[in-house]
Structure formats: C-alpha cells, structure tokens
Structure 1
Amino acid sequence: MSTDCSLLSSELELQRQEEIYQQLLLKTMEKMQTENPESKVILPQPGLCVKTVTEPGKQKVFVNICQSSSVPAPGDLTREELVELLQSEDPSGYRLPMSLGEPHVEMDNKSEGCTVYDVVINQEFFQKCQKDTLFQQFVILVSFEGLENKYNLELSRDWKVLKNRKFLGSVSEQNIRTKSRPIIQEMQPQESSTDLAKRPEFTLLVEPPAGDPEYLIAEIKLPGVAVSRSLVLDIGEDRLVLNARPSLFHLDIFHPFLVNQENSVAQYNTSTQVLTVTMPVVS
C-alpha cells in the first residue's frame, strides 16, 4: 500500500498553521489585557441551551446561557423577592450582570443553518438557577430582554430548554468589562425607585452617516432638568445608563456598537435641556 506524501505534508502544514494561530491568539489576548486592564478575555463554560424563534419571522434562534466566575455576581435575591419581581410590570429591569456575545451561525441537528447567541452569567448564580426552575426562567427572560435591546430583535417567549445539549456550536472567548467608568460622576445607589422615573425621548446618530462609523451620538431630551449635577451617567462598551435625580428620568439602552468609554464626552445644554453624549466607535 503506497502513501501519498503530499497529503501528509499538507496535514502537517495545516497543523503547524493552527499552532501558530493559537500562539498569536494567546499573545493578542495577553496584549489586550495589558493595554486595557479594565477588560478581561474569558472562556465561558457551557450551561444550558434555549431554543426559540424570532417574531414575527419565526426564524429559528438558539441562546447559549453560559457560566463564568469572572462575571460579577448579582445582589442577593430570595425566591420570595423573585416572585414579587416577576409579578411586577417590568421584571427584566432587575440588574443581572451578564455578557452578551455576537451572533454566530451554526448548524442544528437537522443540518439547517440557525442563529446562535451566547450569554454569560455568574457561575454561582447559574448553579442556583439549576436548582430552581423559577430562577432559570427568570435568567432566560432577562437574557432575552438584553439580546432584544442590543440587537433590535424580538424573541418569542414560547421557548424550550434543550435537555441533552448544554451548548450549540463551539465555545469561544468573550471580552468582558471588569470596570465601568462613569463620565459625569460616580453612580450612587438611588434612594428613589427608577420605576417612578420616566423614559426620556432620545435619538442615536452615527457619524459619518455612510461608511465606517466613527462616532455614536446620543441626544437625550430632559425637560425640567435645570443643571447637570442632577445627572448620573454610566457608559458601557455597548450600553448607556442615565438617571436624572430625583427620579425624573431613567434610561437604560443597549446599542449595536462597541465604543471607547474613556474618550467619550457628555455635554448638557441648559437652554435646550438636551444631553449630548459623543462616543468614539471602536473599529
């Protein structure tokens, strides 16, 4: 039996290229963490896989809810408090720290293409959800809400948790924020509930309008706000949270861009009562 040496050489070359790629990837991850200590690259662990569809198109979607000890743990939440929260008008308003990954295309068990989203939550809290289906349903609900806000889609609440699959596709690294830097002032716990606050009118603009975006500009109308000292603004890499005290306005939105938090600036025009937030887009 003869051996085709060219095939062996090709396989060895592919293996060598894969090793080089992994080395470069590791160096890149280390460089990112050195240059930006406020972020961290993690490799999440599989957790559970949820199947649903988009509305109204009925396109098949899978959500991988993963776990990692690097994601901050949420505040203590008892089952009684969760029941009360789920009975409220906006249960998804609970602040559950999570990382929302970019969508990727995978093949389902029927060899059909489908869209998959990866969500990473705290490992200890995930284990709590495994022991109580009510907490599990709550995590799925908040995950859906976060994905809908970030990617401007609508997911059916008629979901199904796959029993024999913890993850669809392959687990990939995610770059998560370990610290969020506020622009106007440090965020403090609010004495008044944000449920009493109104959602202000706002617009999101991209500059330049065509081509690669350089800036994401948020213009937020805040009628009745006299001075900027009453504003508390927090800018994440893909999220903007604003509170106008005392409980006048509350805004919490995700946007489809990664922005440079450190170089973002905010200006409040007391005449027009419009807050303008200019955020450089990371290419």
Structure 2
Amino acid sequence: MTTDSTLLNSEMELEQQEDLYQQLLSQTVGSLQAENPDSKVVRPQPGICVKTVSEKDKQKVFVNICQSNLVPPPPELSKEELVELLQSEDPSGYRVPMSLGEPHAEVDNNSQGCTAYDVVINQEFFQKCQGEALFQQFVIMVSLEGLENKYKLMLSREWKVLKNRKFLGSVSEQNIRTKSKPVIEELQPQETSSPIAKRPEFTLFVEPPAGVPEYLIAEIKLPGVVSSRSLVLDVGEDRLVLTARPSLYHLDIFHSFVVDQDMSVAQYNSSTQVLTITLPLVSS
C-alpha cells in the first residue's frame, strides 16, 4: 500500500507532531455526569434515518429520528384524529414532545459531505409510529418543522426513509433538561470545554477520492493556536473530539466510517495554523 508522504509530513514540525500524537486517544471526553440537577444524561436508541435536502442549496440533510423513554409521550391520538390533523392547514398544532440536537457534519456513502440532525421522541410513541405508516409520516413532518423553526432552515418534503440504515454517524450521549417540560426540549451535547469555546472550521475527505477509500482526512483550521501543546485530541472509531485550551476551540464530530485508532496520526502546521488528522479506515 502506498501513501502520499506529502499529505502526512509536508511542512510539519516534527517536535509538535510527536507532542500531539502522544495525546491521541486521551480521555478528554469521558462519560461525564451532568452537574445540573435539572437535567439527565441520555443516550437515545437509533430509530429511523430520513434523507432530504435543504431547499436553499440542495445539500443533502439526514435526520436521525431516535427514541428514549426519558422524553415524555405526546397526548393520545387516534388514527381518525391523525387523518383529520394531516388534512388540516397546521398539523404541527398537535404537540409532540421531542428533543432537537445540534447539527453535525457527516460523510455519506458516496464520500460526500452532508449535515445530520438528531431528533429524539418518546420510545413507546416511536414504536407506535413504526406500526402505522400515517403516524410515521406525521412524526417526520413534525420533526422537519421543528428543525426548520429552530435552525431557520427550509427542508424539502420529498424525503426518503433509508431502509438499511437506522442513523447516519453515531448517536451520542447528551444532556436533556427535565425541570421544565416545554413542547420541544433541547438536547445539548456534553462538552468538556467552556461554553465560550468556538467551533472551528473543518473539512473531511477521503483518500483516494475514487475507488475504495483507505484514509479519512480531517483538516481543521485553528487561527490563533501557536503550538500543538495547547491541543487535546481524542480519536474514537467513528468520532473526533478536539479541544484547544484554554477554551479557545471545541469540536465534537461523528463520521460514518470505522477507523484504526492506533494507527491514526495528527500533525499541526504552526505556520498555516491547520491541524491535519490522518485516519486509516478499517475495511469491512
């Protein structure tokens, strides 16, 4: 197997590379318990994955509709009432408690970048929706409307439920507020950094670009970071977590590949202030 040596070593400072590599696989993001007594930690179960596109730029969007018994159930709704609701001008008038997660960048099966969102609904209600096509259609519609309202999006209603995939990326452990019960409760990803930490710009791509991919490459722009000594990186099989101390940047992303954690390499170019992470892929 041949690799592009310029991709791994070009213009990189060897000492900084060694320092950062020692921090790979560190326990930066552990299983943290919520300090807020009004919240609970929840890892929702996968449910269905819905594929659609944004109306503005026609970019692919995936909605992971997940399930958890910590999300309260909606009011009882008969099939007859649902039919009337779907025929009304505002089907979202029936309130379905759900949690809307933050967008996360992913790579689809064609190695193209896309955006995914996690929506969590009550587990029993989700199972009911699986048995009734109308209920599933209704939940998808309400989920899309909830994401549109929260993130100022316009999503196509020509969506498709993926048959062989329950989610895109990986479902992460998150915090859910439990003290008050608004119609839509927000899920906030657990982070080790301060809330003032910024999310840096980044790019994910595979090498080679054609054929069977061998590497997943992440390029992360970190303006203002003068040395790799301030960076803490955690590499999981399908997750990257990066923190630039003190509370300068924080990035927590999932991807749809399985990587070899032990063979992964990270290099920081202090002149361009770009971190390059090379992740060998595990063949399925």
TM-score, L = length of structure 2: 0.55
Give, as a single letter, the amino acid of the residue that structure 1 aligns with 2:137: Q
Q: Are 1:56 and 2:63 matched, yes or no?
A: no
For structure 2, the 5+ residue unaligned runs are 1-19, 187-194, 196-284
Q: Are 1:95 and 2:95 matched, yes or no?
A: yes
Give, as a single letter, the amino acid of the residue that structure 2 aligns with 1:89: E
Give, as a single letter, the amino acid of the residue that structure 1 aligns with 2:27: I
CA RMSD of aligned residues (A): 2.6
SS in 1 for 2:165: coil
Evaluate the alpha carbon distance shift between residue 51 and residue 85 of structure 1 in structure 2; reply closer, same or farther with a 3 A threshold.
Answer: same
Contact 1:180 1:236 (C-alpha < 8 Å) held by counterparts = no
Inter-partner Cα distance in structure 2 for 1:69 and 1:19:
32
Give, as a single letter, the amino acid of the residue that structure 1 aligns with 2:158: D
Give, as a single letter, the amino acid of the residue that structure 1 aligns with 2:62: F
Deviations 1:245-271 (A, max 9, x none): xxxxxxxxxxxxx9xxxxxxxxxxxxx
1:211 matched to which residue of 2? none
Q: CA deviation at 1:39?
A: 1.1
Q: CA deviation at 1:237?
A: 7.1
TM-score, L = length of structure 1: 0.55
Q: How many pairs are equivalent?
A: 169
SS in 1 for 2:180: coil
SS in 2 for 1:128: helix
Residues 180-199 of structure 1 mapped to structure 2, 5 A cutoff = 180=180
Q: CA deviation at 1:67?
A: 0.6
* Higher mean C-alpha deviation, range 50-59 or range 135-144: 50-59
- Structure ranking higher on relative contact order (CA contacts 8 Å, 6+ apart): 2
SS in 2 for 1:156: coil
Evaluate the alpha carbon distance shift between residue 235 and residue 92 of structure 1 in structure 2; reply closer, same or farther with a 3 A threshold.
Answer: closer
2:82 matched to which residue of 1? 82
Q: Are 1:71 and 2:78 matched, yes or no?
A: no
2:27 matched to which residue of 1? 20
Inter-partner Cα distance in structure 1 for 2:27 and 2:106:
25
Q: CA deviation at 1:61?
A: 0.5
Contact 2:54 2:153 (C-alpha < 8 Å) held by counterparts = yes
Give, as a single letter, the amino acid of the residue that structure 1 aligns with 2:116: V
2:136 matched to which residue of 1? 136
Give, as a single letter, the amino acid of the residue that structure 1 aligns with 2:76: D
Structure with larger Rg: 1
Inter-partner Cα distance in structure 1 for 2:77 and 2:22:
48
Contact 2:98 2:185 (C-alpha < 8 Å) held by counterparts = no
2:282 matched to which residue of 1? none
Moved over 2 A (4+): 13-22, 234-238
2:47 matched to which residue of 1? 47
Deviations 1:77-110 (A, max 9, x none): 1111111111111001211011100000101010
Inter-partner Cα distance in structure 2 for 1:108 and 1:61:
10
Residues 1-283 of structure 1 mapped to structure 2, 5 A cutoff = 18=25, 20-21=27-28, 25-26=30-31, 29-30=32-33, 32=34, 35-180=35-180
Evaluate the alpha carbon distance shift between residue 125 and residue 237 of structure 1 in structure 2; reply closer, same or farther with a 3 A threshold.
Answer: closer
Inter-partner Cα distance in structure 2 for 1:235 and 1:141:
16
SS in 2 for 1:106: strand
Inter-partner Cα distance in structure 2 for 1:133 and 1:142:
14
Q: CA deviation at 1:18?
A: 3.5
Task: Give percent identity, aligned residues only.
Answer: 71
Evaluate the alpha carbon distance shift between residue 236 and residue 145 of structure 1 in structure 2; reply closer, same or farther with a 3 A threshold.
Answer: closer
Q: CA deviation at 1:17?
A: 5.9
Inter-partner Cα distance in structure 2 for 1:139 and 1:159:
12
Which has a greater percent of helix? Answer: 1
Give, as a single letter, the amino acid of the residue that structure 1 aligns with 2:37: P
Contact 1:180 1:235 (C-alpha < 8 Å) held by counterparts = no
